[in-house]
Amino acid sequence: MEVNKICQFCGSRFVAQRTTTMCCSDNCAKKLYKKRKRDEKVQQVNKSVEIQEKGFDIEQIQRKEYLSIKEVMLLLDISRTSIYRMLKDGRLTKLEGFKAVRIRKADLDVLFVGKEENNETKHYILPYFNDDNYYTINDVLEEFNVSSGAFYHLCKKHNIPKIPKGKNVFVPKDLVNSIFNNE
Ligand SMILES: [Zn+2]
């Protein structure tokens, strides 16, 4: 088999025998390998600098099963007060048997999913968190020309999960769209 490929090191065109071949020559392959190793090292150093600057490693927190208050704050980008409010009103539960407050990471994933309505538990999975999937409350007020009071009642009526993050509160676009299409 012959495949046209571009050398990943020098960028020249070459014909390879296998689809997995990445370089035009052994020489380029060696240099590419060295470059990759070097890049990996640089990345590692950059990452450890970032961790030192921030004082935490978000990836490490994401891998944990149980989280401290501080870790939940960092992960959800919400205040300590918000977390205690959620613990108080039952949206979050602290685990028994720990000296300090520990929260199950899995609980965070379902935290904002709608609760029971008409004796029927809704199984709505929150969409992945990004701008394409969520409106801020202000977006909704502008986009649908509704007052904040009216939207508040709509959220209650339709069980729209509200997600506080940083300074904003977010709502899932698909749910909000479907409400305004039906009302
Ligand atoms: Zn090459």
Burial class (CB in 10 A: 0-12, 13-18, 19+), 21: middle
My answer on whether 127 and 159 are in the same domain is yes
Q: Which regions of the chain are under pLDDT 50?
A: 114-122
pLDDT digits (tens, 9 = 90+) for 101-145: 999 887 776 665 544 444 444 456 677 777 888 999 999 999 999
Q: Which pLDDT value is given to residue 90?
A: 74
User: What separation in Å is there between the alpha carbon of 45 and the centre of ligand 1?
Assistant: 28
- From 95, 111, 127, the end of a domain falls on 111
User: What separation in Å is there between the alpha carbon of 13 and the centre of ligand 1?
Assistant: 8
User: What separation in Å is there between the alpha carbon of 26 and the centre of ligand 1?
Assistant: 8
**Interhelix angle 148-158/173-182, nearest 10 degrees:** 100
CA distance 102 to 62: 14
Q: Which pLDDT value is given to residue 183?
A: 65
User: What separation in Å is there between the alpha carbon of 20 and the centre of ligand 1?
Assistant: 14
Residue 162 belongs to a domain: yes
**Model's pTM, two decimal places?**
0.41
Q: Which pLDDT value is given to residue 24?
A: 96
My answer on whether 73 and 121 are in the same domain is no
My answer on whether 106 and 122 are in the same domain is no
Q: Which pLDDT value is given to residue 124?
A: 66
